[in-house]
Structure formats: structure tokens, C-alpha cells
Structure 1
């Protein structure tokens, strides 16, 4: 079979997604406290034959903008309020039968056993559809929620994350396939010889196992990651089986994918064992003019200041003292700007002013907004895919569930006609959807 596009749906368990306007949009049905808010989207994504749905997450309401949470709460920054996505995904297990289900869990504020137990359980309940979106968390607000004065330094977070994943893998492997017997007649629950001890002593963790949950249908969840820094890419190259990324144009998409594939191969893995999924926010109409009007109406609902609040939280840096007309390249050159902040500013908005970047963050957090008919959007995606810009796409909605419905009904059929997208699920597990193959024991 020829190479096929992979699709994931992106959500937060809150009112704001990449779109800060989603909760205000007149076509958004219900709100984030209603379980049907998520179930509608999940069912639509499964009807569209998506590989998986995943929830990004963050712990705390950020106060990086001037030391205040007022704007974040008043107008809805990305981290102003949200639910824990794991119980939502447990609910969605019963609302879907094929769709992969991904949850974000932090390696900085959890312990490996927490994640190993929760994700093994989700994989069992979903019959092999679980994914773990691995993050290291983002800012000091999250640290203070857990009693830490400051968030752990960037590269140290990834050092901890490397060991965290090592431990989780040991725990998931502690039950051999078939070790669980459930032999009622002979009274044998499990074969002790198939349950292996875990003795881990490292720089960050001391763990004695085994896990008390048997091997799950996939062996372990699919590992998803989104780090874009140099250290983050090395981490992704070592562990990730799918990487979510945001890039503004085809050239940047191709550069990112090629770099990550090289990182994957440097770790002794086959490049195709890691799927690169780039994010897009489509606005689909009966004509290009209608689609453009939809996008403009959506963007007008995003409060112009709130994008800077979200940006400051992501940077873990206070931007409130800088003039809005500051050009980002000038801002990045200032001596008080930390190198990691300067690098991020230039990567997301070189050539823009601070105000322009804030507006862009408010509407889409710099996820490219595509406009057109279903056929035109399909053509744009096919061009990126065939040119080596991605292995698929993360679809970020502007309103729910309508953005997903329009995509599934108007774009998917055109991709199918081009032979670039499945016409039915051919497997039952997420690993099978992604073409990752069985795990080595």
C-alpha cells in the first residue's frame, strides 16, 4: 500500500484550544463541563476514520504576565481553566470503538508508577487504543502548585523525562505476554514466572516493581511528544512514535521532519517508526470566499490581549514590560531575555511585532489557518504530505464539533479519492492505525 496520511484530532479539556475563540463561537455546542462536549467530537472523529484524539494539558493558571491572573481568567487564556483529561478519556472509551485516545501526563510532576498504572488501565479498557503525550510541563506557576518555588530548568526536565520513560517501560514490560491466566478450573490467576521484578536505581528515581497491572493489549501505550527545542527533538528521536509540531510553512515543516527522522535513526530506530504530524486549523466553506469569512469571524472573537498572556505562560517569562510595537528580533537581542526565550520568540514570530504575535496567538497559537472548500483543503494537505512536510496532520478546531464534522465530511472524501487516506479502519489498536508494527519483547 502507498504511504497514507495519518490524522489526529487536538483538544484541551477546557474552553480554549489553540483557538482562544472556541468557547465564544456561536457554533460551539455546549461547554467543556459537559461530557457530551467531548463525546460529540470523538464520535465525529471516529466517523472520519482518524487515527486518534489527544488532549494536551497544563496544570496551573499562569501568572507570568505582570504577575497577575486577571486577564487570563477574565478573557480565557489557554490555561485559565480545564479538567483532567484522563477521566474524560475513560468516558470516551465507551463512546468509541476504534479511535485512539491520547492523554498528556507530565514527567516533572508525576512519578513513573502513576503514569504506568493509569495508561496501562486505559489501554486495557480501550482494548489497545491508548497513547501517552509526554510533556515536561512549562512554567513556574505549575511548579508552585506542586510546592516548588521554580520550575525545573529546561534540559534537566528532559534528563528526568528520559529516565522517567525508561522506568515506565520497565514497569510495562514486567508482565510477560500470557502471564495472566485467569484459570478458574485450576485456581491459577497468573504464572509467577511471567511476572518479572523491576529494580531501578537512577539519578531521579528509585523504583521496585513489578507493576500490578498485566501486560496491556498494545504492550504499552503509543508514545507521543511535541518538543521542538534541540533537547526536545533528541528526546523525541529516542522515544516518540508520533510527534506533534507547529510550523508555519512547507519549508519549515520539511526541515523539522528531516531533522527528527535523523534523530530517530541516530537512536538506532527506523525513521518510519516515528510519525511527524503537523498542526493545521482548517476553515471550510462552499467557496473560498465563504471559508475566508468563516476564518475572519472566528479570529474576531479572539481577544487581542489574551494571546500574549498565553505566550508569556508558554515562555515562562513576563512580557508585560515591553512595548507592543517591539519587533521580536529586537526583543530577542535584549540582554535580559534568556536564550531559550529568545530562541522561541524568533522561531514563532520573526518579523512580527509583539502585538502582532499576540493577535496570532489569540486566534491559533500560530497553528496555520487553512481556508478553502473541502477539495482545496485536501489539495493543500496533499501537497504538504507528498512534498515530505509531514506524515499526517493534527486537526485543531475553531469550534466544536463543527470543525471536525466539516473536515470529516468535506475533506476526508477527497483524500480518499486520491488514495491518500483509509476508507475503513484495518486494525483495532492505535499501533495498527499508525502502522507502527508490534513491539519487541
Structure 2
């Protein structure tokens, strides 16, 4: 009888440069230009790799306003950045965000396929559909696609990209110099896709990497987003507020996967958190309160409004009831907006209270290294997460997490002490997917053998 593989915690490092909130860029130890400093990214990717993290994660958005958080105002493009990290690291996974709403599948297949080759099988694509309506006008469109249409397009988009990644079977290139045969032409395949949104012939001029195909991440939290995640994702970047909501998301996503005939263990759920650490719980809590106090109510209202397509909440009385936004289409970050509205209704929150709860920086786990390690263990063992994406902005917090929290997790047998594989799929415990054409080629002989 085969031995049961013990479930292992997964860790990602979100390299967020000058910060995705409005305060951390002022940290005296953080370079003000961190979001465009490739040296900063390389240094932190190598630190994460030394701590045996599974991956680094690059967030992105194709639209900004003057009130956008510092990191998003001035940042490097994810695929260019990750290609630099690919040749500056050797084991850690490399995951980047790219929207299906304003790109074409062939371009995306080529970009991530190239990153997968450059990194020898460490690439991952975070599939998003773009929430902010203003992005449309950056891509020669006057109107943002409807939420439901965006998700139908995303599903077909991923199908096309994955089909292009299978353009060559793994043994398509004999490269036999004695016979002059470079390509076995029977193992090159055009896709010839015709669908609702895309018409793509192929083939892609790129072979598969050692992990077969890049890993698919997905970050949507609406009903359509969760459905897409259950269908396509190898891992999800979950947005949750507390243990109970994390457990509910975890159960929902895994049950959706089971209903589709998938193994629930084949999807790694990784919420994003921003731990604050100090020697004692009291010191960490005080530090968190201090950071929150530095964020003005005006900034909190901006962050609250982002989920509603940057709706201007400053026009309403702060201490009045939360305004009626039923006239808004919620065609932006729909899952987040719906979660806010449910919380507002359940708590009877005023606008100020809603801004403090949903517009303030969400630091996640706060306490001593022992406390934060215990919180992580609790979420992991109680099926709220399979791992965590740790936001990296504060050098101090990241240092304490790597040097104090990770060793505790290792001592408890929750997290690896050494890498056991060289690919991102290997780190996440995912098999190499067989090329679809190879599977099809095998099918007739298998049927005959069975007969």
C-alpha cells in the first residue's frame, strides 16, 4: 500500500514594491522607488527562495487614477519583471497577473510559455478579468465588458491558451543532425479553435517546458469568479477577511471542484495576508494601530470606493448611514463589493464605520512570531487555507517572517526545510499534464488493448 503524502503548507511572496496601501511607502527602510527597482525585486525574490517559499507573486491592474495606491502608480510590467527574476533565481515559482479582458490568447500563450522556458518550468499565470471600468479606454474600447461576459470570455481564453501550449508533443523535436530531421511534423498540431470570442489557428511556435504547462492561478471571488476557479485553477489567490469567511470560501470552492469531477486537493487555496510582527503580541498590536492611524479617512474612502469602480464616497455624510449604491452596476470588483454590502447590512454600519472596516489596510495576522505561526497553523489545519501569499513591502516584517515564523512552521513539520522539486508544479504537488495530442494518440491502442 502506497504511503500517504502529508499535506504541506504553501507560501508565496507578493512583491508589492512601494505598497498596495497608502502608508507603507513611508517606511524609512523601503526604497521609495521599490516598485520600479529591479534590484529590489531580485533581492526579495532571492530572500524568499532562501526561505524555501513556493513562489513570488506579482499583482497588476491596467488602470490608475491620481488616488491609486503608490505601488500601482509606478510599477514594472509583470512578465518583463518575472523574466528578470527567472535568471536571478533557480527554484522559486514565478506567478504574474494578466487580464483576459484586454489581451489576445496567442500573445498570452507566447509570453507565459516563454517565461516557463526561461525559468525551466517555474511559471504561473494569475488569470483575472479586470474589474475597473476605466481600463476599457486604455485598450481602444469605450465600454467595459459586462461582468458575466468577461467571465465567459475568460473561460474560452484559458482554453485557447492551454490548447496553444500543447502545440508540440514532448518528443516533437528529435534534432537529429545525422539525418537532418529537426522536427517530427506529425507531432506539431494546429489548434484551429473557433468559439464565441476567439478564432485562433495556431500552432504556437514554442515547445512545452519541464512542467508541461504554466500553473493557472485565479483570483475572482464573485459567484462567476468562483465557478471559473473551480473549473480552471490549480491555485487561487483568495480575498478573505477572517477565519470564518476563509473556511466558507474554502468549502465552497472545493465543493464546486468536486461537483465538476475534480480532486479538491488539485486546487491550492492561498489567501493574501500582510503579517505584522514584533517580539510580543502587545508590541505588534500597537504597531498595527500606529500604521492604521497614519492612513487618513480620505484614503480609506478611496480604498472603499475602489471596489465600486472608484465611486466617490466623500460626497456623503461620514457619520450618516451607508449610502444607497443600488444604482451602481457592480460591474467592477463584484465579489468584493458584494461582500462589503453584506457586511454593511449585517452590521448596520455608517459610512465611517464601513470605511474603517473595509477601506483600512488589512494587515491579517498580528503578533509575536509564535502567535503568527499559530494563526497560520490554525487556518491550515482547519481548512481555511492550503497556504498563504505574504505581502512583501516592509523589510522589517518580511525579515521577521522569514527568520522567525518560517523556522517555527518547519519545526512543526508544516513547511519544507529544503526544496524537493525544481518546478512550480512540483512545489504545489501537481502532476505534469500530458499533452492532449499524445493522450489522443494513445487512445486507440489503449482501446484495442482493453478489448
- The answer as to 2:170 corresponding to 1:174 is no
Change (3 A) 1:193 1:374: same
- The answer as to 2:251 corresponding to 1:258 is yes
Distance apart, 1:30 and its partner CA: 5.2
Partners of 1:247 and 1:172 lie apart in 2 by 32
Give the match for residue 382 of structure 2.
387
**SS where residue 61 of structure 1 aligns?**
coil
- Conserved 8 A contact 2:93-2:423: yes
Change (3 A) 1:405 1:178: farther
Distance apart, 1:181 and its partner CA: 2.8
Give the match for residue 413 of structure 2.
419
Aligned length: 423
Give the match for residue 327 of structure 2.
336
Q: 2:88 aligns with which of 92, 95, 110?
A: 95
Partners of 1:327 and 1:396 lie apart in 2 by 33
**SS where residue 272 of structure 2 aligns?**
strand
Change (3 A) 1:375 1:335: closer
Q: Say which one has the larger Rg.
A: 2
Give the match for residue 21 of structure 1.
23
- Conserved 8 A contact 2:318-2:351: yes
- The answer as to 2:344 corresponding to 1:354 is no
- Conserved 8 A contact 1:8-1:50: yes
Give the match for residue 42 of structure 1.
45
Distance apart, 1:304 and its partner CA: 3.3
Distance apart, 1:142 and its partner CA: 0.6
Give the match for residue 149 of structure 1.
142
Q: 2:397 aligns with which of 400, 403, 407?
A: 403
Partners of 1:51 and 1:432 lie apart in 2 by 9
Distance apart, 1:334 and its partner CA: 5.0
Partners of 2:80 and 2:288 lie apart in 1 by 32
Change (3 A) 1:349 1:184: farther
Q: Which runs of 5+ in 1 are unaligned?
A: 63-68
TM-align CA RMSD: 2.1
Q: Which runs of 5+ in 2 are unaligned?
A: 436-451
Distance apart, 1:439 and its partner CA: 1.1
Whose strand fraction is larger, Structure 1's or Structure 2's?
Answer: 1
- The answer as to 2:3 corresponding to 1:9 is no
TM-score computed with the length of structure 1 as normaliser: 0.90
Structure 2 matches for 1:216-295, cutoff 5 A? Answer: 216-295=209-288
Higher RCO, 1 vs 2 (CA within 8 Å, ≥6 residues apart): 1
Change (3 A) 1:326 1:156: farther
Distance apart, 1:139 and its partner CA: 1.5
Partners of 1:362 and 1:21 lie apart in 2 by 13
TM-score computed with the length of structure 2 as normaliser: 0.88
- Conserved 8 A contact 2:18-2:32: no
